[in-house]
Structure 1
Amino acid sequence: MDAKAVKKLKVAELKSELKKRGLPTDGLKAVLVARLTSALESSANEEVKDDNGVADMEVEEKVVEPPPAKKQKKEPFYCLPDGYEIKDEPSLRPIRSAVKPTHTPLSVSTLDQNVELSSDAFDNKYLRGYVSLNNLSKTDYISTSVQGLCHVKSVRDYFLLGKELELEGARNGVNLQSGQVGCLVLRFGEVVRKVWSEGRFRVAVDPQDLVQEIVLQSKGKFQIGKQGNVSDFMTWLINMLHRGLLALMDKKSRKKKTTIITESFQGTVVVRSITTQKKDASTENSEFDDSVLSTNKKGLGEESAELEVSETDTTTNFLNLTLDIPHKPLFKDDDKGGLVIPQEPISELLGKFDGKRYLDAVQGGNLTKRRYTIQKLPKYLVLHLGRFTQNQFGKTEKNPTVITFPVDNLAMGQYLDFNGGGSINAPSTEMLNSMSVSELKSTAEKLKIPNSSMTGVEKSDLINLCSSALSSTTSNSYDLVASVCHSSDVNVETTAVDHLQEGGYKAHVRHDASQQWFEIDDHDVKPTMPQLVALSESLVLIFVKKE
């Protein structure tokens, strides 16, 4: 059928031909003719191929109607037990948004600029992304962790666009059964999309499916009705999401061991270990003998000769860093009679990674001193504050020391070690320009630039690669994105009560468009001040690197 024949067709015939090709049948006859003509020409171009298999190019430029927008597939609704389909779209819209919300790239790109309130089906106002998650009985440690990850932009956008559903395992139904690691990824993605959805049925999000999957896959370590340590749970959740995404990938992608989790949170730390052991330690009891540290009647020189000292450097990746809170005595206020809670700046805790301090540890019965230095900082820095410890009564005690930290511009440069020598020594632009090709390649390896990017390139290209990577590596200022804190009415001096079980968690999250901070405490979502966020009893801090 050619263009002339198309023009002679009646409207009913045109609609019939368009319907066969799955094209829209609305519009005037002229529109239908243009639409069918365009479809016929496209079909003809696909059939006529040259020797290289490329369709012949049209000589004349023609104005044709753009192809119709691809409609989003919608799941049907049925009335049970009668089994007939419900097609009343306006009444189903809030239910669809609550059960299975979807997001487009355009809507996701504007989330950080949104200041307008949305309404649920009962006309309750809420701000997208700043809604509560139902507490299923002491599951606030799960809810607050999810709230924090929901405001990590790279992770949020990944799951809002449903990219985990595009992975091979998700398409083929591999590792998706309850109890399998891929199922946890899908349940997490569902909650993220609900938190950021518009036009919800009810404001609060029900995370029951996610919580049940967490209980199942943690083998009961994290339970409903028993308060958990949010630091332990956050570490577990981030690692499980990484494993789950890898399980859903095809074999080729899985070998790279890279997911949105590692792209967002993974950094590198160098650990220097100095181990002191007896020379014949392999034949003796593996338990550490304190006597080897002291001077006895043999004299220091003789005793030292029996010891063997070894130094090793280990480079390892991390998804979060743990900071130890020092134990400080509590003093009573003479005037008011209350307790004086000590304070400690976060810079003092971060000194663990300054490349100068050695921390004592016992490994395999041998005394080990370790020094930590950060070699590569991640885009999102997750810090865990070790606030909970077990006392002699088997109860969990909480260190009430307030850790003060900046909400904006946390400086991490002094803890970044470029060459593994314990101090920053990153080359300047002038130094890069004066380097030879071999020196540039050596620098590129330290910056973790793939070898494939350095193959067959000019010196100027190597300089640009190193310069770009350095600007990212040495960018060392971070802004707080979210935090999780613990609150309890129990007296901090009480040792017979489990402080973890008697308290609860709250999340603090920042709204980028207004720079307003919100406190989310179960169903209570309210504005708060950044000064209060910085003075809370935080356990988890999530920072983002400044561009």
Structure 2
Amino acid sequence: MSDEEPPSKKVKRDEVPGKGQAESPGSRTNTRLCPYLDTINRQYLDFDFEKLCSVSLTRINVYCCLVCGKYFQGRGTNTHAYTHSVAEGHHVYLNLHTLKFYCLPDNYEIIDSSLDDIKYVLNPTFTENHIKNLDNNTKLSRAIDGTLYMPGIVGLNNIKANDYCNVVLQALSHVSPLRNFFLREENYGKIKRPPGDSAYLLVQRYGELTRKLWNPRNFKAHVSPHEMLQAVVLWSKKQFQFTQQGDPIDFLSWFLNALHKALNGSKKKDSSIIYKSFLGNMKIYTRKIPPIDLDEKQKRSLMLTEEYQETETESPFLYLTCDLPPPPLFIDEFKENIIPQVNLYQLLTKFNGQSEKEYKTYKENFLKRFEITKLPPYLILYIKRFTKNTFFVEKNPTIVNFPVKNVDFGEFLTADVKSKHKNTIYDLVANIVHDGEPSKGTYRVHILQKSTGQWYEMQDLHVTDILPQMITLTEAYIQIYELRCS
């Protein structure tokens, strides 16, 4: 049932802002059909950008001109929207907050069901039944210009240098429980935050972006993450920006923790959708290495002291860091460097609880063992390709050979830990790739469309299908694996 009042009782609650003031409660606005609806140009409508008046730059009482797509403040006499309507002859406007339509300069509300598609593009909504069928949908949608697209498989605009953010946002949008949570605004719309806390804005913007990515009725086959990235810049205190290149793993780590905190998550494993989806647990065994300048007798003596005994700590994780072996220095018979390859399972032996790895600090060295004690529903692997020293950053080009299906992470669990898991078989759902030099490279992401089983390569606005066997030949950087339903 609609929450609109009958036309005869409609009271104009929208602000008529010359200077940000609302009109008196006693004033009334008629509602009627409008003869100017055929002047609306849907191809010019873009609701992805910040809702600011293009003249005054205010966020108060902003209206979109549905003829040219520009944003203006107010609709009363002498407001920017009113002036624009008289000067340009553009008559149909949408209040970006109340989602009500008006005709200017006559200033009456328009009631017409043919405008519902515009309202839906501005604020897509999803029913629980619709969400349940997303991963089974094989129907293509058609944009205004005739372009066919699959909901969820749409490009993200690169404003300047935000491809490192785009690939992470695309990958996370295909983590089903995370996507399903943010498609329903009621899941997070009433979360209480302190006044002025920008964390709530981050959650709202990410929810809006997720709904737009999966909108089956978009006017165009791509989305701009402009408002989402502005919220990131604000809450990260400019640590992450869209004007300079960044590292996807740094952004992913910050973003997951920021969302968890913004959703009032705690240290409990099920306190937010982030922890429910990605949180795993491991034990880290650490022992100190005696100084190398001691003889064997002194070393054995030190190993018996408490300081050099192995210690055990519990450590939750949102992703696992896989270390690549150093690339070989030799060249092949054609005088070219050989591109080394390594199997994914070889990298994962780091977490079997037996393999030791040396870690160096300024004064001391340690040996560590990692034992996974709990696997999450979605497992993120970070393949460490970059090493930084005092002077420059080096990239390891080693190719990781990995299957896209049937990866058994149970092979690296101890018997008692594996017995606590009903299933340990995972399938790849997203693969982020780095191309080029460390400081000048670009990022792209491979996404699995579950309903069709088709893989897509997405690099900003460019979306193309790709064969699974081609994915394994890339310089994988971040991967997301999904636990197969038993």
Q: TM-score range, shorter-chain basis?
A: 0.7 to 0.9
- From 232, 237, 249, give the equivalent of 1:231: 249
What are the residue-to-residue correspondences of 1:381-420 with 2, within 5 Å? Answer: 381-394=379-392, 396-417=393-414, 419=416
1:144 pairs with 2:162: no
Could you say what secondary structure the match of 2:187 adopts?
A: helix
What are the residue-to-residue correspondences of 1:209-228 with 2, within 5 Å? Answer: 209-228=227-246
Q: Is the 8 A contact 2:191 2:263 kept in 1?
A: no
**AA in 2 matched with 1:316:** S
Paired position in structure 2 for 1:477: 425
CA distance in 2, matches of 1:345, 1:320: 19
**Residue-by-residue CA offset, 1:195-234 (whole Å, 9 max, x unaligned):** 0001112221111111111112222221122111111111
Q: Is the 8 A contact 1:164 1:186 kept in 2?
A: no
- Compute the RMSD of aligned alpha carbons: 2.8
Between Structure 1 and Structure 2, which shows a larger proportion of strand residues?
Answer: 2
**Residue-by-residue CA offset, 1:57-100 (whole Å, 9 max, x unaligned):** xxxxxxxxxxxxxxxx973134567654333332x334323321
Q: Is the 8 A contact 1:320 1:382 kept in 2?
A: yes
Q: Is the 8 A contact 1:375 1:418 kept in 2?
A: no
Count of residues in Structure 1 that have an aligned counterpart in Structure 2: 391
**Residue-by-residue CA offset, 1:419-449 (whole Å, 9 max, x unaligned):** 5xxxx563xxxxxxxxxxxxxxxxxxxxxxx
**AA in 2 matched with 1:315:** E
Unaligned runs of at least 5 residues, structure 2: 1-5, 10-96
CA distance in 2, matches of 1:345, 1:506: 22
Paired position in structure 1 for 2:143: 120
Q: Is the 8 A contact 1:228 1:500 kept in 2?
A: no
With normalisation by structure 2, the TM-score equals: 0.74
Change (3 A) 1:364 1:167: farther
- What's the offset of the Cα at 1:312? 1.7
Could you say what secondary structure the match of 2:244 adopts?
A: coil
- What's the offset of the Cα at 1:307? 8.2
1:87 pairs with 2:111: yes
1:102 pairs with 2:125: yes
**AA in 2 matched with 1:244:** A
Q: Is the 8 A contact 2:188 2:263 kept in 1?
A: no
Q: Is the 8 A contact 1:507 1:521 kept in 2?
A: yes
Q: Is the 8 A contact 2:144 2:220 kept in 1?
A: yes
CA distance in 1, matches of 2:130, 2:472: 32
Paired position in structure 2 for 1:447: none
Change (3 A) 1:166 1:523: closer
- From 242, 247, 260, give the equivalent of 2:273: 260
CA distance in 2, matches of 1:408, 1:307: 46
CA distance in 1, matches of 2:418, 2:428: 27
Paired position in structure 1 for 2:226: 208
Could you say what secondary structure the match of 1:500 adopts?
A: coil
| Higher gyration radius (CA) | 1
Structure possessing the higher relative contact order (Cα contacts under 8 Å, 6 or more residues apart): 1
**Residue-by-residue CA offset, 1:120-172 (whole Å, 9 max, x unaligned):** 22222111100001101110111110000000000011111224334332xxx
- What's the offset of the Cα at 1:275? 2.9
- What's the offset of the Cα at 1:377? 0.4
Q: Is the 8 A contact 1:510 1:518 kept in 2?
A: yes
- What's the offset of the Cα at 1:181? 1.6
CA distance in 1, matches of 2:455, 2:130: 22
**AA in 2 matched with 1:187:** R
Change (3 A) 1:298 1:241: closer
Change (3 A) 1:227 1:83: farther
- What's the offset of the Cα at 1:326? 1.6
Paired position in structure 2 for 1:37: none
Change (3 A) 1:519 1:176: farther
1:198 pairs with 2:206: no
CA distance in 1, matches of 2:159, 2:303: 59
**Residue-by-residue CA offset, 1:469-523 (whole Å, 9 max, x unaligned):** x4xx2411100011110112xxxxxxxxxx2331111111111122110001111
Could you say what secondary structure the match of 1:485 adopts?
A: strand
What are the residue-to-residue correspondences of 1:137-536 with 2, within 5 Å? Answer: 137-169=160-192, 174-175=193-194, 177=196, 180-246=198-264, 258-276=271-289, 292-296=291-295, 308-335=307-334, 337-362=335-360, 365-394=363-392, 396-417=393-414, 419=416, 424=417, 426=419, 470=420, 473-488=421-436, 499-536=437-474
Paired position in structure 1 for 2:26: none
- What's the offset of the Cα at 1:348? 1.1
CA distance in 2, matches of 1:407, 1:539: 15
**AA in 1 matched with 2:174:** H
Could you say what secondary structure the match of 1:400 adopts?
A: coil
Q: Is the 8 A contact 2:126 2:184 kept in 1?
A: yes
CA distance in 2, matches of 1:240, 1:191: 16
- What's the offset of the Cα at 1:273? 1.4
Q: Is the 8 A contact 1:506 1:522 kept in 2?
A: yes
CA distance in 1, matches of 2:257, 2:405: 27
Q: Is the 8 A contact 1:120 1:201 kept in 2?
A: yes
**AA in 1 matched with 2:122:** V
Q: Is the 8 A contact 1:175 1:182 kept in 2?
A: no
**Residue-by-residue CA offset, 1:324-353 (whole Å, 9 max, x unaligned):** 112112544424x54321101111111110
**Residue-by-residue CA offset, 1:399-424 (whole Å, 9 max, x unaligned):** 111111110011111222365xxxx5
CA distance in 2, matches of 1:83, 1:230: 48
- What's the offset of the Cα at 1:364? 8.2
